């Protein structure tokens, strides 16, 4: 009588292990379709009033300085859905706008945690205005970055 119960429990355990494994694979594959770097940068730029003064401020625009992680072909958005263009070092003097420089992007070995250092230079004279330090973790269930810690130094 005990043998059928043991067999039933054994098959139930095996079945649950296989079902759990398939669930994890499907959750992780959903996150493969997003570009983690782009979504991280976009999340930083969505921080309210961190890099822009308000919606439809036609007097000035912000630009991101190109780096090894940020392609010049990309266009990002601020929290008001206005475009932020990526420029190279040679274009800084010809552009009137704030400059956003991702000075440090340091991923953990598993790429699920990252530390960022972002500098913002004022539009008119290109003086350093803020240094922002961010720490994020990637939520693989929701496929998005979650802010853990931030520090803003105003100059």
Quick check: helix, strand or coil at residue 97?
A: strand
**109 forms bridges with which residues in the sheet?**
none
| Pairwise CA distance, residues 142 & 128, whole Å | 35
* Distance in angstroms (rounded) separating the CA atoms of residues 26 and 10: 25
**Cα–Cα distance measured from residue 129 to residue 51, given in angstroms and rounded to the nearest whole number:** 10
The CATH number linked to 64 is: 3.10.450
Q: What is the pLDDT of residue 139?
A: 93
Q: How many structural domains compose the chain?
A: 2
The per-residue pLDDT for range 62-78, each reduced to its tens digit, is 899 999 889 888 999 98
| Separation of alpha carbons 82 and 26, rounded Å | 34
User: Do residues 64 and 137 share a domain?
Assistant: yes
Do 10 and 46 belong to one domain?
no
Given a cut of 90, is residue 133 above it in pLDDT? Answer: yes
Please give the residue range of the domain that contains residue 82.
Answer: 34-154
Q: How far apart are CA 138 and CA 39, in angstroms?
A: 10
Let me know whether 93 and 123 are in one domain. Answer: yes
Are 102 and 69 contacting, i.e. CB atoms less than 8 angstroms apart?
A: yes
Place of tokens 């693989």: 140
Question: Same domain, yes or no, for 38 and 4?
Answer: no
Do 73 and 129 lie in one domain? The reply is yes
Would the pLDDT of 50 be above 80?
A: no
- Regarding predicted confidence, which is higher, 90 or 133? 133
Q: Is residue 12 scored above 70 in pLDDT?
A: no
Residue 133 · residue 120 · CB < 8 Å? no
Same domain, 106 and 139: yes
Say whether both 24 and 61 belong to one domain. Answer: no
Give the span between the Cα atoms of 97 and 59, in whole angstroms: 9
Q: Are residues 7 and 64 in the same domain?
A: no
| pLDDT value at residue 11 | 62
Please check whether residues 89 and 121 belong to one and the same domain: yes
46 pLDDT exceeds 80? yes
Co-location of 5 and 47 in the same domain: no
pLDDT of residue 58: 62
95 and 114 belong to one structural domain: yes
Alpha-carbon distance 98 to 109, whole Å? 33
Please indicate, yes or no, whether residues 5 and 44 belong to a single structural domain of this protein: no
Q: Where are the alpha helices (DSSP H) in 33-76?
A: 36-45
Per-residue pLDDT of 77-125, as tens digits, reads 988 888 999 999 888 888 888 899 999 999 999 989 999 999 999 877 7
Predicted confidence (pLDDT) per residue in 22-42, tens digit: 444 444 556 776 689 999 999
């Amino acid at each position: 009588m005990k043998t059928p119960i043991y067999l039933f429990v054994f098959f139930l355990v095996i079945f649950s292990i296989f079902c759990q494994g398939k669930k994890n694979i499907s959750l992780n594959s959903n996150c493969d379709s997003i570009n983690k770097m782009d979504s991280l940068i976009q999340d930083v730029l969505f921080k309210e009033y961190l890099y822009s003064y308000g919606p439809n401020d036609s007097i000035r625009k912000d630009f991101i300085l190109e780096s090894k992680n940020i392609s010049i072909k990309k266009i990002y958005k601020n929290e008001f859905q206005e475009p932020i263009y990526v420029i190279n070092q040679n274009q800084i003097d010809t552009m009137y706008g704030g400059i956003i420089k991702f000075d440090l992007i340091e991923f953990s070995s598993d790429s699920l945690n990252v530390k960022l250092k972002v500098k913002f230079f004022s539009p008119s004279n290109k003086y350093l205005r803020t240094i922002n330090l961010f720490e994020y973790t990637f939520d693989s269930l929701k496929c998005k970055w979650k802010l853990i810690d931030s520090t803003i130094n105003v100059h």
